[in-house]
Amino acid sequence: MNAKQMQCSAWYIFKYVEERFEKRQLGQTGPFGSGFSPEDLPSNLILFHRMVYGLSRVDINSLCGVITKVNDNERIFEGFP
């Protein structure tokens, strides 16, 4: 496989595992309920791209922007169901 094919394969595996894991968490019952948290998905995706494409933390910070205030972090998830 060439590099592009390996990246596509890695994406497919990541997406498959991520979706199954999150669906399984949503189905949990008991005293603690689901372990799902909305920030899991973007943070996992950022880490995936960092590893597959060799992005540095500086690259990620420049692409995403850094949250510097606690209130800014809360605004990201406004309107999330």
Query: Which segments of the chain have a pLDDT < 70?
Result: 27-38, 68-81
**Does 81 reside within a domain?**
no
* Domain membership flag for residue 25: yes
pTM for the full model?
A: 0.60
- Whether residue 72 is contained in a domain is answered as yes
* Residue 10 placed within a domain: yes
What pLDDT, on a 0 to 100 scale, did the predictor assign at position 12? Answer: 93
Q: Cβ distance 44 to 18 under 8 Å?
A: yes
Residue 68 is part of which domain span? 3-76
Overall number of domains in the chain:
1
The answer as to whether 44 is a domain residue is yes
Helices (H) and strands (E) in the chain, counts: 4, 0
The predicted pLDDT at position 9 comes to 93
Q: Which two tokens stand for residue 28?
A: 């949990």
